[in-house]
Amino acid sequence: MINSGLGKALIVDDEKTNRLILKSLLVKQGYQTIEAVNGQEAIDQFHRENPSIIFMDVMMPVLDGYEATRQIKAASANQFVPVIFLTAMSDEEALAQCIEAGGDDFLVKPYDRIILQSKIRSMQRIAALNREVQGMYSMIHREQEIAESVFINAIQSSNIENRYIKQVVRPAGIFSGDMVLSAYSPSRDLYFLTGDFTGHGLLAALGAMPVSEVFRAMTTKGFSPEEILAGINKKLKSMLPVGMFFGTQLVVVNHDLEHVRVFNAGMPDVIIVDGETHQIKHRLKSTGLPLGVDAGVDPKEMLQYAPISYSDKILMHSDGLTEARNSKDQEFGDTRLFESIARAPKDQIFDQVFNDLDQFCGSITTQADDVTLVEITCVHDVLPEIEVHDYIKPSTHMIGDRGEWKLSIRFNGSRLRETNPVPILVSHLMEMEELEAERQSLFTVMTELYVNALDHGVLGLDSNLKSDPDGFETYFQTRESRLASLDSGYVIFNLSIEQESNRRSILLRIEDSGKGFDHKNQGYRQLQDTDLSGRGIMLIRDLCESLEYHGKGNIAIARFSWSTG
């Protein structure tokens, strides 16, 4: 006897003599035995007795050994229960049929004790190996569940939740190589990033953590999308193995819902759909290499502008959507995607696309790649509310040369091409004054003042160009062209802090080298309608205690105050 307590052996044979002979041999090996006279009875005994090994005859009444084995193997799931076929047949076709039915070995009649003992030992080794593998699989699965929880909490939990933003990531495995990140900048712009790492699963997901860290840290501090993408590219280039990269779409929805900035690096088109007609207005194609490939990637070269109207929809997706295949090995493709968009009921494009995709794939349940789809509806409710602080009654003193501390910094032409000074200055103010509660308002004021100084002052752009779609494109093409060749001009920031009883103020003085405008002959209402004003200037006046223009109109002085009592 090779062992004791080996469990139960199920003997399935319609011949009583054969059962008695095999039972005698198995008892000597250390097994308890149970018997069945046909395949259906064998299935019933399997569920009732939970045997550790099965000896299955082939030809039996009611249900043959082939079908009984198929059903037993299907029911045993991940548990390994060896099935040894009992047969007097020796032709290859019959033996192959036993294997196809799920059999693990053969025992040829008449039974030989030595051969039986060898086959039992072989099955015991396989069963032990199977238990070890299952244990390892369970441990790996548990670790993956923990890692997935960390992944979701670290990356996805901080994303914006808004009923006008719909997003789904369908991973091909436990982990997704696709990722979606969203955040608001201090100036209330919506930053939305979708990305697709090479492959899918845990290996592809490893790069998601550093991408998320860079994206959130830099967006929160107000860095430009070009600087954010450059930071992500630098991080990925230093850590990703050769051959692995990150396709990226970054869409920035301007806080006034006037336009979007799109950066597409190795991803499918970003689609802008008219909110009223459901016609596709813009398809913004990839204009750059995926991130992590080349350390010298310049995100500025990827930048595309597109005008938007109220209720337009922005669609972003990974190639797993259009490359999904059905049982006929057909691809879902761009054409079906565009047809889904065109026939979708109002405000149901997102649902229509997924319904059409699921119908197309039909019985195919295993995805070849991760599938991501994002829909952003361009309405005011998709953006955060303006955090206007308590109204501060204007003070009576004039703008003077006094204060607790002062800061002056000048950016000349070439530096203006490369650096956005606002995040630097705001971060400095946050550290000096502990103004975290006022970050959004202060950032908005400084951004609007700086953009006016740069665009309309240094670059000499006329905002009236943006009154129609063609002019809008001309405006931004001209801006990029002039900025790229800028080697003269300047913007000067002078900041000072003042304390008066229960109020504290930051005096912001921004001077540019532009021609200015005749501010002395224009009232505030008229000033709001000038090229240098518009909605941005109106917003500054809402957020600041005062706004004045000096010199030839190229000096703006704003007083930003908050209560300290």
Burial, 17: exposed, middle or buried (Cβ in 10 Å; 0-12, 13-18, 19+)?
Answer: exposed
Give one DSSP letter per residue of 297-365, joined into a string: --GGGG-EEEE--TT-EEEEE-HHHHT-B-TT--B-HHHHHHHHHHHPPTT-HHHHHHHHHHHHHTT--
Cα separations in angstroms, 245 against 197, 286, 377: 6, 15, 30
> Cα 53 from chain centroid?
48
pLDDT at site 63: 93
Is there a shared CATH topology between the 8-132 domain and the 405-563 domain? no
Torsion 540-544-546-550 (CA) sign: negative
Residues 6+ apart with CB under 8 A from 146: none
Is residue 403 a contact partner of residue 507, using CB atoms and an 8 Å limit?
A: yes
Q: How, if at all, do strands 270-273 and 259-265 pair? A: unpaired
Assign a CATH topology to domain 158-382: Phosphatase 2c; domain 1 (3.60.40)
Amino acid (one-letter) located at 305: Y
Residue 474, both tokens: 């001309």
DSSP assignment string, 35-68 = EESSHHHHHHHHHHH--SEEEEESS-SSS-HHHH
Q: Output the tens digit of pLDDT for each of the chain's 565 residues.
A: 444 467 899 999 999 998 999 999 899 888 999 999 999 999 999 999 999 999 999 889 999 989 999 999 988 877 889 999 988 766 677 778 888 888 888 888 888 888 888 888 888 888 888 888 887 877 777 766 666 666 666 677 789 999 999 998 887 766 667 889 999 998 889 999 999 888 656 666 677 888 988 999 899 888 899 999 999 999 998 888 877 899 999 999 998 888 999 999 999 999 999 998 889 999 999 999 999 998 888 998 999 999 999 999 999 999 999 999 888 889 999 999 999 999 998 889 999 999 999 999 887 666 777 889 999 999 999 998 776 555 455 554 444 445 578 888 999 988 888 888 898 888 888 877 777 778 888 888 999 899 999 999 999 988 777 767 677 778 888 888 898 889 899 999 999 888 877 778 899 999 999 988 776 665 444 433 333 345 678 888 888 888 999 988 899 999 998 877 6
Tell me the domain boundaries of the chain.
8-132, 158-382, 405-563
Give the type of residue at 43: I
Q: What is the 3-state secondary structure (H, E, C) of 115-160?
A: HHHHHHHHHHHHHHHHHHHHHHHHHHHHHHHHHHHHHHHHHHCCCC
pLDDT of residue 498: 84
Cis peptide before 241 (omega within 30 of 0): no
- Cα 329 to chain centroid distance, Å, stands at 27
Which are the contacts of 242, defined by CB distance < 8 A and separation ≥ 6? none
| pTM of the predicted structure, to 2 decimals | 0.68
526-531 own/partner pairs: CB under 8 Å, 24+ apart: 531/456, 531/462, 531/463, 531/464
Give the per-residue pLDDT at 253.
96
- The alpha carbon of 353 is separated from its chain's Cα centroid by a whole number of angstroms, namely 18
Q: CA-CA distance, 431 to 181, in Å (whole number)?
A: 27
Question: What is the fold, at CATH topology level, of the domain defined by 8-132?
Answer: Rossmann fold (3.40.50)
> What would the two tokens of residue 397 be?
């003193």
> How high is the pLDDT of residue 97?
82
- CATH of 405-563 given 2.60.410.10, 3.20.20.20, 3.40.50.1820, 3.30.565.10: 3.30.565.10
Edge to edge, what strands does the sheet with 32-36 contain?
A: 32-36, 8-12, 53-57, 83-87, 105-108
Residue 199 one-letter amino acid: G
Which pLDDT does position 128 carry in this prediction? 86
pLDDT of residue 174: 63
